[in-house]
Amino acid sequence: MDDDCLLDGELHPSIRLRLERVRELPVPAVANLHGVERGADGRPALVWQFVDGRTLQDVANSADARGLAALRAEVMLAVESLHAAGIAHGGIHERNVIVDGRGAVRLTHVSPLLYDDPRADRDDVTAMFERLGLPAGSPSPGSGDDGGDGGGDAEDGSRHGLRDAIRLRAIIAAAVVLLLGVAAAVAIAWYVATD
């Protein structure tokens, strides 16, 4: 971890609280943070869940444009789900996006500093896929745009459709989290009342 996360060689209390928020994330597209351990050099290091799969960088080497566009849509869904939980990733790149055998993506290494600007994550995703060979304006799979000239309206429509799908999934995820919280509160109240 970076030196600005430490106070007298220990994890800074505000960073510890922020990491607790990351550990409690109800976002399936984000690897679980198990905790903080001391590395061989004595410095604190984050311990993340092992995600079986390949990095996006490795997968992109054998993917065509349509496959990359599908992966971009999945990464954006994962990012928006993370944002719906109130956290920005803060450092998305090709090596911390893992693609499993089914093609599902998982984000790892959410920043312990908890960046608060979701636009930076979106910009990181756009730049990452540009580095991988997919221009920012490339249509998503199933958009009906064959990539030829004159497809601007369909392209804009597919982006709005993707944005709407991301928002819908984020709303559903937030509703599930809210319902789980209410269920937990009811269970605790029932337990206390019957004890």
**Residue 71: its pLDDT value, please?**
92
**Residue 159: its pLDDT value, please?**
47
**Residue 158: its pLDDT value, please?**
44
- Report the DSSP beta bridge partners of residue 7: 10
Q: Label residue 115 by pLDDT band (50, 70, 90).
A: low
Between residues 136 and 118, the one the model is more confident about = 118
Mean pLDDT of 8-22: 74
Q: 22-42, pLDDT tens digit by residue? A: 777 778 888 888 888 877 887
Contact, 44 vs 38, CB < 8 A?
A: yes
* Rounded Cα–Cα distance for residues 30 and 77 (Å): 11
* Rounded Cα–Cα distance for residues 127 and 104 (Å): 20
pTM of the model: 0.63
Contact, 137 vs 155, CB < 8 A?
A: yes
- State what percent of residues in the chain have pLDDT above 90: 16
Q: 56-98, pLDDT tens digit by residue? A: 999 998 888 888 999 999 999 999 888 888 888 888 899 999 9
Q: 42-51, pLDDT tens digit by residue? A: 777 788 888 8
* Rounded Cα–Cα distance for residues 163 and 96 (Å): 23
- Chain-centre distance of CA 190, in angstroms? 35
SS3 call for 90: coil
Mean pLDDT of 105-133: 83
Q: Label residue 127 by pLDDT band (50, 70, 90).
A: very high
Mean pLDDT of 128-153: 62
pLDDT for 176 beyond 70: yes
- N-terminal to C-terminal alpha carbon distance within the chain: 44
Exposed (0-12), middle (13-18) or buried (19+): which is 33, by Cβ within 10 Å? buried
Segment among 20-34, 114-128, 167-181 with least mean pLDDT: 167-181
pLDDT for 154 beyond 80: no
Joined tokens for residue 123: 């910009």
Joined tokens for residue 75: 């990464």
The H or E element spanning position 11 is strand 10-11
Amino acid at 172: I
Highest averaged pLDDT of the listed ranges 43-52, 89-98, 109-118, 141-150: 89-98
